[in-house]
Amino acid sequence: MAKVIIDHRERTSGIIGFLESQGLETEVRQLISADFVLQIKDSNNNVQTIGVERKTQDDFINSIIDKRIVKQLSMLKEHFNIPLLIIEGDENIYSLRDFHPNAIRGMLASIAIDFNIPILHTKNVKDTASLLAVIAKRLEKGKKHISLVDRKKPLTLKEQQEYLIESLPGVGPAIAKSLLKHFGSIESIIHAQIEELMEVDNLGKIKSKNIKDLITSSYHHDSS
């Protein structure tokens, strides 16, 4: 079961009671970074942690003004496997203070792009607690492998062949058809040399090399 460690400053927020009512184990500590830490052991018995920084809309704006947000997010990135930022409130954040909207937009963009930290929005404390409970329960299920291939089955053998060749680097529908027409089969494409691949229209040296590298490179798997 996922465990939620809660910063002592959140004692009076009401979040602790809600999480416990959802059957989650909680522990209150004085945290150096983050307001909530969600922990669970993965399939390799390693502890995975999610660090969650919770800010009301007003506090978020204040933290931009005094530049506190930058240090907090840097620590979040440093200490946790997965950092998250929750911004709580349902008002128009751009009208709360006499603060230029572009400064807020710029910080939101920086958090998403520069820090690569997901931003989640909640309406109020109860909504935040509900979201934390969902995240904790999601952790219990473990990560799902997401296939990079669309599982929709082509209707014909010809479509399946085109579909497979289209997955090669730099190959779209037109080049896939040209490759199959030129070589006659997927097997012949796989065994073709770079110079032979280059004989196909719109398939230059770089694309041909990338295709050959993909086909001939060893598969390096991890333990996950």
Give me the CATH code for the 157-216 domain, please: 1.10.150.20
Q: What is the pLDDT of residue 81?
A: 82
User: How many of the other CB atoms lie within 10 Å of CB of 193?
Assistant: 9
* Mean per-residue pLDDT, 22-38: 88
Asked if residue 171 has pLDDT above 70, the reply is: yes
Q: What is the pLDDT of residue 111?
A: 95
* Mean per-residue pLDDT, 60-84: 92
Q: What is the pLDDT of residue 44?
A: 61
Q: Which residues on adjacent β-strands are paired with residue 120?
A: 86
Q: CA–CA separation, 119 vs 112, rounded Å?
A: 7
Q: Which of 10-14, 113-117, 191-195 has the lowest mean pLDDT?
A: 10-14
Q: What is the DSSP string of 198-211?
A: TTSTT--HHHHHHH
Domains 3-141 and 157-216 share a fold: no
Whole-number average pLDDT of the chain: 86
Q: What is the pLDDT of residue 70?
A: 94
In three-state secondary structure terms, 41 is strand
Per domain, the residue ranges of the chain are 3-141, 157-216
- Which run of H or E residues covers position 122? strand 119-122
Q: How confident is the model at residue 153 (pLDDT cuts 50, 70, 90)?
A: low
Which are the contacts of 28, defined by CB distance < 8 A and separation ≥ 6?
A: 5, 6, 7, 8, 10, 11, 16
Alpha helices in 22-156 (DSSP H): 57-65, 68-79, 101-113, 125-141
Choosing among 3.90.420.10, 3.40.50.10130, 3.40.190.80, 3.30.430.20, the CATH entry for 3-141 is 3.40.50.10130
Q: How confident is the model at residue 140 (pLDDT cuts 50, 70, 90)?
A: low
